[in-house]
Amino acid sequence: MHCTLCQSANLAEFTAEMMIHFGGLKNINHPGIPAFPKVSVCLDCGYSGFTVQANQLALLGSRTVAKDAKTALAAA
């Protein structure tokens, strides 16, 4: 595997903890979605990437779709 940015093969994988929050005041009371991805880091340029697990992706998608639908209805 090679770095997407610099094409280096000097990559390392780390375990991470993150909390994904939705922006805006309307989401102030939403606690966010915890994620524990494996993060691939290029040790030459620092470019990093991760993949969200399927269950977390479903939660992110359902919140985004609900928000977009409400925005579309409000604009109509």
Tens-place pLDDT, residues 22-31: 888 888 888 8
Structure letter (DSSP) for residue 35: E
Number of domains in the chain: 1
Asked whether residue 33 is domain-assigned, the answer is yes
Asked whether residue 36 is domain-assigned, the answer is yes
Residue 72 DSSP label: H
Quick: pLDDT tens for 52-62.
889 888 888 88
Q: Give the rounded percent of residues in the chain with a pLDDT score beyond 90.
A: 50
What is the number of alpha carbons within 13 Å of residue 35 lying toward its C-beta?
Answer: 20
Q: Which helix (H) or strand (E) holds 67?
A: helix 54-75
Q: Give long-range contacts, CB 8 A cutoff, 24+ apart: 50-58.
A: 50/16, 52/20, 56/20
| pTM for this prediction | 0.66
66: containing domain = 11-75
